[in-house]
Amino acid sequence: MMHFLLLFSRQGKLRLQKWFLPLPERERKKIVKDMTTMVLARKPRTCNFLHWKDLKIVYKRYASLYFCCGLESQDNELLALEILHRYVELLDKYFGNVCELDIIFNFEKAYFILDEFLMGGEIQETSKQSVAKSIEASDMLQETMEEYMSKPAF
Amino acid sequence: MPAVSKGDGMRGLAVFISDIRNCKSKEAEIKRINKELANIRSKFKGDKALDGYSKKKYVCKLLFIFLLGHDIDFGHMEAVNLLSSNKYTEKQIGYLFISVLVNSNSELIRLINNAIKNDLSSRNPTFMCLALHCIANVGSREMAEAFAGEIPRILVAGDTMDSVKQSAALCLLRLYKTSPDLVLMGEWTSRVVHLLNDQHMGVVTAAISLITCLSQKNPDEFKTCVSLAVSRLSRDYTYYFVPAPWLSCKLLRLLQCYPPPEDGAVKGRLVECLETILNKAQEPPKSKKVQHSNAKNAILFEAISLIIHYDSEPNLLVRACNQLGQFLQHRETNLRYLALESMCTLASSEFSHEAVKTHIETVINALKTERDVSVRQRAADLLYAMCDRSNAKQIVAEMLSYLETADYSIREEMVLKVAILAEKYAVDYSWYVDTILNLIRIAGDYVSEEVWYRVIQIVINRDDVQGYAAKTVFEALQAPACHENMVKVGGYILGEFGNLIAGDPRSSPLVQFNLLHSKFHLCSVPTRALLLSAYIKFINLFPETKSTIQEVLRSDSQIRNSDVELQQRAVEYLKLSSIASTDVLATVLEEMPPFPERESSILAKLKKKKGPGAVSVNELEEGKREGGELNGGGERGADNSNMAASNASTPSPSADLLGLRAGPPVNAAAPSAGSLLVDVFSEAGANDDGFLRDLEPPTESSDSLLAEGPGDSDSAPPSVVSEDPAAPLPESNELLNKFVCKNNGVLFENQLLQIGIKSEYRQNLGRMYLFYGNKTSVQFLTFTTTVTCPGELQSHILFMCTFKKLNVQAKPVEPLIEGGAQVQQVINIECLGDFCDAPLLNIKFRYGGALQNFSLKLPVTINKFFQPTEMASNDFFQRWKQLSQPQQEAQKIFKASHGMDTEVIKAKLLGLGMALLENVDPNPENFVCAGVIQTKAQQVGSLLRLEPNSQAQMYRLTVRSSKDTVSQRLCELLAEQF
């Protein structure tokens, strides 16, 4: 089971945090700090895995963003890498050439996409088509462009 | 779709986010945020009711602010309101806010639960999924209480949509992990297993996670999943040309909850599958994408885990090992890392240990050449795991040479590993001594106390290596710059065994002394203190050095040293050397006696480091910090041991520190002065790591030493093994509970002593035989035991204790247990009235001079005086009704802490001493018993009923008896038994 998933930039700015276990705020902050320092200190072309306390840390860099997750000791590291990749694929498909800014400005979408895909730290839906389809379906329920433009800007 | 993506957002939110991004400084950002918070607050408080869209927008802004790392203390109510909106987007934001921000705010939880309940029953699959996600995200106990019953129904209902089933399965898993007691097994469980056959891939994948977790806890109930999982393994979709990687991995993981299938056909199919997976690894890749190889190898590694888990198919194990061997040389760093990690577990299997060993050269090479420190660390772990007698020298040599260039982050752990391997596989101890001294030379800063204490313990315990150790350490000290730890070891060993090399003019006593003293000024205070103790030992070993050393001690820099400890030592040692006769000096400064054998403190330290090779930045820091703190305490222990010698003859303010309050007078100091040292030393050593505590004879000194702050000897509390009977050990209640339902067994065991027990009871009388076994090879002196009855018990039970020891029949006043011997003690017991507290047994003896003093509870409990009473159903219920006053009944509902096997329960109830009545309770699952407690004063009739609930893994226990205290006590005792 995945304990957490963090997205942070090369400068160590946290862009998305998902916790699959209830942890006190202080502990979360400590994990974020440890992960960013550890992962950002890694040289290029090193492996994607680390040990941290009882957890296996799996991370991968996509452009300017690091995707980093903490796994339990019996979880499969390679598969976790593919979970990260699947998530990137889904974001990419949704935003079209996803970049860091998309995630900053549409953080709630990034959460929704993640929720379609993972639940309670376990993978819920492995089919890219199914996830994309349900995100599309929920977008049909959103406002239209005209509605959007007619809204006040503050 | 991209066009949609940015168009449906909230404009106000986007503006706010870009404002924040444009802030030039942290202050500007905080200012902007505070402005926004004030704005939102006023909107929420305003008279005008907000429309759904605005509410959503503001809640979303609050969420953004929170995720930036600022505290949010309002807006929860508005978010909860959004949950009941019938607009999807509003509901969605509401749920997101709740998931991220709400932990278990009790007032809100009720409202949230209400909204969730509505959505779950809405039959709208999108709403249901949102609700299920929220439950899984928050996962609190209140939510489990509210929904643990509902979700299984949704999961197995025939008309539930597949997407909802997926969410329901994982949601249930989450609740099961937080509150397993609330998720009750039932009719749904068997249907869940059959989800493995579901047509919908997503449903199977989600369900396996749930089934795996349930199987780990209740393997028997889910046994059928094995064959279903095996048949599912060979089907399904592809991800980058790999068939169903997630599903396959989860299936292989599920199978690891069980032993190999017993059914030959199932097993055959599984082996075939595993072989196919291994074969596929040899095929050329179907795609150049890394996703293809990752997915394929993920399955391969999972299959290898399963093969290692079964550990019964030598063929597969060897193939797995060969496959990993190939990966060791793979150009993908990830694969090399995983192969090293996986091989570590393979190394412990007897079938594959040899096969793993054939890769030693590759692994050594990895240690030397890998660019990535985490890979090198796995290589070091593997070398450690594959080490045995045959390759120990090579591996230790390689690790030592690697240490010279090793990363700072893993040095400490490497040092520990080298030290352990060197000790474990030492054939000749000179090699061991060489290795450790090399360690200190190469990585002195990383050699913790445990390591150098250990080498001293071993040298002291083995006289065949002492001369060699003295010679080697003498040579090592010749180096112009040597590590302070080397000076410590040198000072200690030369002080003890310098005489063994004094015959050689190159290492004559004065040369030795000058060599040590040349390092003195470069050392820290604790090391200097140790050296001073070495000097006084020199005076005893080599009288010819006396005047030189006295001169040194007399010099102002010693005798007026500003450090109180150093000054005190200088003064005392000077005095001791000038007033004591040679005989007295020889006894006081006698060679250290052997240390008691115990688990290597180094091993304990490594074990404490979580898992093999778990090293992280902060953990190392922690380790260091700890090392630093303990440093003072530990060293104090080490040289206090030396110090004790002087205190034995010159009582000083610090005498209390050393456990000599009740110490022997000067002249009689001989045997104990020396050996007391051992104990202070070893206690300190053990406290140093603090995890040997369970192995320690729990004397009081260990606690007070631990509490002692490093450095300030004057204010430190006395660390004395009290002569007063010790308070009962913390585990004594547990030990007592072990004997409620049985009369014979081992009552207590530690490193030194084993206490066995046999007892028999008739009416209100009992006789107990205690067997004290000395597990060491050293005598226990002044062995005494006393039995006391705490408080009220005294008036009720009469104890007549007779001491009968094996070897000392003639003189029972001089009790002594030879090493390896056992003595017996008979205790007669008479129960006069009912009682609660068990009698205390205090045990005191001297082992190697150190006083051992601890107390246990004797397993005498009220139920020992039961007489079983057989009765028919009618009689039972009649009496049950007679005992209907409220205080006559005691009841407890408790969780099963063991399996709920009927036969075991029966055996325990019989052991309790009551009659187990068959065919009395209308429910055959329940147990009822009857008995009479015989005391001298009265008889107490008691009835008992135990109702197991195997679904909930709970019991309800009801005891009725004519005396309320008896009901209470029986209930307490029994609740600990099941």
Question: From B21, which residue of chain A is nearest by alpha-carbon distance?
Answer: A104
Task: Give the pLDDT score at B105.
Answer: 59
Question: How far does A29 lie from chain B, in Å, by closest CA?
Answer: 9
Q: Which residues of A touch B177 (CB under 8 A)?
A: 1, 120
Judge whether B251 is closer than 8 Å to chain A, CB to CB.
no
Distances (CA, A) of B205 to A88, A131, B137: 20, 14, 19
Beta bridge mates, B933: B866, B940
pLDDT band at B183 (very low <50, low <70, confident <90, very high): confident
Stretch B807-818: mean pLDDT: 52
User: Is residue B31 a known part of a binding site?
Assistant: no
Task: Give the pLDDT score at B235.
Answer: 60
Judge whether A72 is closer than 8 Å to chain B, CB to CB.
no
Residues of chain B above pLDDT 70, percent: 82
Tell me which of B564, B589, B614 is where a domain ends. B589
| CA-based torsion, B607, B610, B615, B621: positive or negative | negative
Task: Give the pLDDT score at B643.
Answer: 37
Asked whether residue B575 falls in the same domain as residue B470, the answer is yes
Judge whether B291 is closer than 8 Å to chain A, CB to CB.
yes
Asked whether residue B820 falls in the same domain as residue B943, the answer is no
**Inter-chain contact A108–B615, Cβ cutoff 8 Å?**
no
Check whether B482 has a pLDDT greater than 80.
Answer: yes
Asked whether residue B845 falls in the same domain as residue B880, the answer is no
Q: pLDDT, tens digit, for every residue of B95-118?
A: 999 988 876 556 788 889 999 999
Q: pLDDT, tens digit, for every residue of B332-355?
A: 999 999 999 999 988 888 888 888
ipTM for the whole complex? 0.88
Distances (CA, A) of B152 to B115, B157, B174, B358: 19, 8, 12, 51
Tokens standing for B763? 């009416």
Judge whether A14 is closer than 8 Å to chain B, CB to CB.
yes
Check whether B836 has a pLDDT greater than 80.
Answer: no
Please indicate, yes or no, if residue B380 is contained in any of the structural domains. no
Asked whether residue B878 falls in the same domain as residue B855, the answer is no
Tell me which residue range forms the domain holding B60.
9-74
Angle formed by the axes of helices B669-689 and B601-608, nearest 10° = 20
pLDDT band at B600 (very low <50, low <70, confident <90, very high): low
Task: Give the pLDDT score at A150.
Answer: 54
Asked whether residue B573 falls in the same domain as residue B553, the answer is yes
Check whether B680 has a pLDDT greater than 50.
Answer: no
User: Is residue B11 a known part of a binding site?
Assistant: yes
Task: Give the pLDDT score at B599.
Answer: 60
Strands A122-123 and A49-52: unpaired
Task: Give the pLDDT score at B573.
Answer: 92
C-alpha to C-alpha distance for B865 and B835, rounded to whole angstroms? 11
Q: Which of B22, B183, B372, B413 to mutate to test the interface with A (most CBs of A within 10 A)?
A: B372
Residue, of B687 and B188, whose pLDDT is higher:
B188
Task: Give the pLDDT score at B342.
Answer: 92
Stretch B526-554: mean pLDDT: 92
User: Is residue B6 a known part of a binding site?
Assistant: no
Task: Give the pLDDT score at B336.
Answer: 94
Q: Which of residues 9 through 48 in chain B touch A, CB cutoff 8 A?
A: 9-12, 14-18, 21
CATH number of the domain enclosing B871: 3.30.310.10
Stretch B654-678: mean pLDDT: 32
**Inter-chain contact B1–A94, Cβ cutoff 8 Å?**
yes
| CA-based torsion, B268, B272, B273, B275: positive or negative | positive
Question: From A59, which residue of chain B is nearest by alpha-carbon distance?
Answer: B334
Question: How far does A63 lie from chain B, in Å, by closest CA?
Answer: 17
Give residue A56's region: left, alpha or beta (phi > 0; psi -120 to 50): beta
**Inter-chain contact B205–A52, Cβ cutoff 8 Å?**
no
Residue, of B485 and B964, whose pLDDT is higher:
B485
Task: Give the pLDDT score at B656.
Answer: 28
The whole-chain average pLDDT of chain B stands at: 79
Check whether B300 has a pLDDT greater than 90.
Answer: yes
Asked whether residue B962 falls in the same domain as residue B832, the answer is no
Size of interface A-B (CB pairs under 8 A): 208
Q: Which residues of B touch A153 (CB under 8 A)?
A: 11-12, 15
Lowest mean pLDDT among A110-114, B828-832, B861-865: B828-832
User: Is residue B424 a known part of a binding site?
Assistant: no
Q: Which residues of A touch B53 (CB under 8 A)?
A: 151
pLDDT band at B155 (very low <50, low <70, confident <90, very high): very high
CATH number of the domain enclosing B846: 2.60.40.1230
Going along chain A from its start, the domains and CATH numbers come out as: 2-149 (3.30.450.60)
Asked whether residue B432 falls in the same domain as residue B521, the answer is yes
Q: pLDDT, tens digit, for every residue of B612-654?
A: 443 333 333 333 333 333 333 333 333 333 433 333 333 333 3
Question: How far does A64 lie from chain B, in Å, by closest CA?
Answer: 17
Q: Which residues of B touch A102 (CB under 8 A)?
A: 5
Tell me which of B528, B556, B589 is where a domain ends. B589
**Inter-chain contact A96–B1, Cβ cutoff 8 Å?**
yes
Strongest mean pLDDT among B485-499, B736-750, B777-791, B831-845:
B485-499
**Inter-chain contact A141–B171, Cβ cutoff 8 Å?**
no
Please indicate, yes or no, if residue B372 is contained in any of the structural domains. no
Question: How far does B976 lie from chain A, in Å, by closest CA?
Answer: 31
Residue, of B725 and B220, whose pLDDT is higher:
B220
Please indicate, yes or no, if residue B304 is contained in any of the structural domains. no
Task: Give the pLDDT score at B253.
Answer: 92
pLDDT band at B872 (very low <50, low <70, confident <90, very high): confident
**Inter-chain contact B6–A94, Cβ cutoff 8 Å?**
no
Check whether B576 has a pLDDT greater than 60.
Answer: yes
Judge whether A62 is closer than 8 Å to chain B, CB to CB.
no
Question: How far does A21 lie from chain B, in Å, by closest CA?
Answer: 8
Q: Which of B22, B155, B164, B174 to mutate to test the interface with A (most CBs of A within 10 A)?
A: B174
Stretch B289-297: mean pLDDT: 90
Asked whether residue B847 falls in the same domain as residue B902, the answer is no
Q: pLDDT, tens digit, for every residue of B229-241?
A: 888 886 654 455 5
Please indicate, yes or no, if residue B399 is contained in any of the structural domains. no
What is the total count of domains within chain B?
A: 4
Please indicate, yes or no, if residue B559 is contained in any of the structural domains. yes
Task: Give the pLDDT score at B31.
Answer: 93
Tell me which of B589, B607, B637 is where a domain ends. B589
Please indicate, yes or no, if residue B120 is contained in any of the structural domains. no
Q: Which of B201, B247, B372 sits opposite A46 (nearest CB)?
A: B372
Check whether A115 has a pLDDT greater than 80.
Answer: yes
Residue with tokens 């010679």: B471
Length of chain B: 978
Asked whether residue B853 falls in the same domain as residue B946, the answer is no
Q: Which of A108, A127, A154 sits opposite B15 (nearest CB)?
A: A154
Task: Give the pLDDT score at B969.
Answer: 85
Check whether B71 has a pLDDT greater than 90.
Answer: no
Buried b (16+ CB within 10 A) or exposed e, B317-336: bbbbbebbbebbeeeebbbb
B725 secondary structure, DSSP code: P
Check whether A122 has a pLDDT greater than 80.
Answer: yes
Task: Give the pLDDT score at A152.
Answer: 55
pLDDT band at B765 (very low <50, low <70, confident <90, very high): confident
Helix (H) or strand (E) holding B180: none
Asked whether residue B454 falls in the same domain as residue B582, the answer is yes
Task: Give the pLDDT score at B95.
Answer: 92
pLDDT band at B169 (very low <50, low <70, confident <90, very high): very high
Please indicate, yes or no, if residue B441 is contained in any of the structural domains. yes
Lowest mean pLDDT among A77-86, B52-61, B122-131, B623-632: B623-632
Question: From B57, which residue of chain A is nearest by alpha-carbon distance?
Answer: A154
Asked whether residue B427 falls in the same domain as residue B531, the answer is yes
Check whether B685 has a pLDDT greater than 50.
Answer: no
Asked whether residue B520 falls in the same domain as residue B488, the answer is yes
Buried b (16+ CB within 10 A) or exposed e, B107-130: eebebbbebbeebbeeebbbbbbb
Please indicate, yes or no, if residue B821 is contained in any of the structural domains. yes
Task: Give the pLDDT score at B276.
Answer: 87
C-alpha to C-alpha distance for B208 and B203, rounded to whole angstroms? 9
pLDDT band at B608 (very low <50, low <70, confident <90, very high): low
Task: Give the pLDDT score at B793.
Answer: 37
